[in-house]
Structure 1
Amino acid sequence: MSTENYIVEGMSCGHCEAAVTQEMQKLAGVSDIQVSASSGTLSFQSDGTVAEADVIAAVDEAGFDATRA
């Protein structure tokens, strides 16, 4: 497992954090998801099979933009 870190733009509250977390939980190979609206960050444990494009798509589905930190 490795820690992956992303910057998420546009989050402002707990609802935003929950939306990103919910979409990330749908991805296989992802665990220990940490989302912070105050710092605009997303981090999670990856089993090495999670593609960056899938993470960006999941965050986009939640309504936000993500870039790898």
Structure 2
Amino acid sequence: MTYETRSPLPMASTGCACCAPVPEHAAPAAGTAPSAGTTSTYPVQGMTCGHCATSVTEELTALEGVSEVHIDLVVGGVSTITLTAEHPLSTEEVRAAVEEAGYTLVNL
């Protein structure tokens, strides 16, 4: 039997909205090229750790047409989410997904 050692995601020291066990995800295949499409950037407040980023990523990738999510996490500040989608998404679609994960899309 082979055991795999995994490094834990950093835990927030205070009030993280999502520090529950994270489901396992398949890693993207090596050498996968970034998806073509519309790229949009959104500021999000309230994320404090890797679990937060994972929760938001799960909600956003569930939106129709989203092919890629990149999060620049700023602990205790405003993080930046960059989405690549087959078609432009409305701000309200993105806001609803971010709020479903427990965070706030900063007013644009």
TM-score by length of 2: 0.58
Higher relative contact order (CA 8 A, sep 6+): 1
- Structure number with the higher strand fraction is 1
Q: How many residues align?
A: 69
1:13 match: 49
Gaps of 5+ in 2: 1-36
- Identity of matched residues, %: 35
User: 1: CA distance between counterparts of 2:94 and 2:38?
Assistant: 15
Give the Å deviation of 1:49: 4.4
Output the aligned Cα RMSD: 1.7
**Which of these residues, 44, 52, 55, is aligned with residue 94 of structure 2?**
55
Q: Structure 1, unaligned stretches of length 5 or more?
A: none
Larger radius of gyration: 2
TM-score by length of 1: 0.87
